[in-house]
Amino acid sequence: MIKPDGVQRGLVGRIVQRIEAKGLKIVAMKMRTLPQDVAREHYAEHSQKPFFGDLVSFITSGPSVPMVVEGKDAISEMRKMNGATNPTKAQPGTIRGDFGLDMGRNVIHGSDSPESAKREIALHFGEAELSSYTRID
Ligand code: CMP
C-alpha cells in the first residue's frame, strides 16, 4: 500500500512502474482514505506501541493506494523492493531508500506474511475486486 506521503508526493506512477517492471502482477488497486477503524485494524499488531496514535493519524490523513500483488515470492520480493522500514537504513535502489527519509513517512507498506496479506487484503478489497489476467513477459 502506497501511503499518503507517497500519494501526495506524486510517487504512485513510479512505484507501480517498479512493481510491474519486476514482473509482479497487480490484480487489484484503488485510492482510498482509510477510515479510522480500518487503519486501527490494519496496524492492530502495533496497537501497544508508543507511535500507534501518530501512525493511525498519519495513515488516515489522506488517500493511500492499496494494491494486491501476485507472483513468484510476491511478499518477499515486494519487501526487498520496499527496503528497510527506516528509510535512512534502506539501501539505494529500494523504494524507501530512494524516496524516503522519515520512519513515519516511509512511502509504502508491505504485508510481511501470507496471513497478514490475507487479513490486510480483506480490509481493502472485496473478492469481486480482484482481477484475473495473464501477464505476458
Ligand atoms: P509499516 O511497514 O507500514 O509498518 C508499521 C509502520 O509503523 C512502519 O511501516 C513505520 O512507518 C511505522 N513505525 C515503525 N516504527 C516507528 C517508530 N519508531 N516511530 C514512528 N513510526 C514507526
Q: Where are the domains of the chain?
A: 4-124
C-beta separation of 35 from 60 below 8 A: yes
Identify the residue whose C-alpha is closest to ligand 1 atom 2: 109
Annotated binding site for ATP: 3, 51, 79, 85, 96, 106
Give dist(CA 88, CA 127) in Å, integer.
Answer: 37
ipTM of the complex: 0.93
Instruction: Catalogue the active-site residues.
Output: 109
Residue in 38, 45, 106, 120 to alter for ligand 1 test, most ligand atoms within 8 A of Cβ: 106
CA of 72 to the centre of ligand 1 (A): 26
pLDDT of 137 above 90: no
In a 3-state reduction of DSSP, which class is residue 73? Answer: coil
pLDDT of 80 above 90: yes
Helical ranges in the chain per DSSP H: 4-8, 12-22, 36-42, 52-59, 74-82, 95-99, 114-124
CA of 82 to the centre of ligand 1 (A): 13
Look at residues 54, 51, 57, 52 and name the one whose alpha carbon lies nearest to residue 36: 57
What's the pLDDT score for residue 2? Answer: 98
Q: Averaged over 36-52, what is the pLDDT?
A: 97
Owner of C-alpha cell 520480493? 77
Owner of C-alpha cell 500500500? 1
What's the pLDDT score for residue 56? Answer: 98
Q: Which three cell numbers stand for residue 121?
A: 487484503
Greatest pairwise CA separation for the chain in angstroms: 45
Q: Averaged over 122-135, what is the pLDDT?
A: 97
Atom of ligand 1 minimally distant from the CA of 3: 3
Select from 3.30.70.141, 3.50.50.60, 3.40.50.360, 3.20.20.70 the CATH code of 4-124. 3.30.70.141
